[in-house]
Structure 1
Amino acid sequence: MLTLEYCRELDEKDVLAAMKSEFALPNNTIYLDGNSLGVRPHAALERVNHIVRQEWEQDLIGSWNTHGWWELPLHIGNKVAQLVGAKAGEVAVTDTTSSNLFKVLATALKIQQDDSKRKIILAEREAFPTDLYIIQGMTAWLERGYELRLIDGPQDLQDALSDEVVAVVLSHVNYRSGYLWPMQETTAQIHAHGALVIWDLCHSIGAVEIDLNGSDADFAIGCTYKYLNGGPGAPAMVWVPEKHVNQVGQPLSGWWGHAKPFDMATDYTPAQGIRRYLSGTQPITSLALVDCGVDVFLKTQMSQIRSKSLALTDLFIALVEQECGQHALTLVTPREQAIRGSHVSFRHEHGFAIIQALIERGVVGDYREPEVMRFGITPLYLSHEDIWDAVQHLKNILDTGSWDQAHFHRRGAVT
Structure 2
Amino acid sequence: MRYRIILVCLLFSNYCWAQDVSSQEKIKEIEDKAFAIGMNSYKLALEKMSVQDINLLPSGENPKYDAAACVFLKEHSSAEKMIDDKRGIIVRKANWQAKLDLKKSDVSAVNQILSKYASKEIYLLFRLLPDEVMWWIRKDQRLTLMSLVDAVHEAHHALDQVLSYCNDSNATFYFDGEARITELKRGGTENYSIISEGIPEKYGIGTPPNSNYYRYVNNNKLHVNNDFIILLDEFNAYTSTASLDISLTPSELYKKFRSSGITSYGGNLQGMSDFMLYTLCYLQVARMHYPDSYKKIKESPFLLAHIARVWKAAEQTLHDGYKHTVNNGGIYVLQPDLIDTIYSPQFLAELDHLGIAHGNRVDWLNTYFLRLSEKNGIVFN
TM-score, length-normalised on structure 1?
A: 0.25
Which structure shows the bigger proportion of residues in strand conformation?
1
Q: Which has the larger radius of gyration?
A: 1
TM-score, length-normalised on structure 2?
A: 0.27
Task: Give the number of the structure with larger relative contact order, counting CA–CA contacts within 8 Å between residues 6 or more apart.
Answer: 1
Which structure shows the bigger proportion of residues in helix conformation?
2
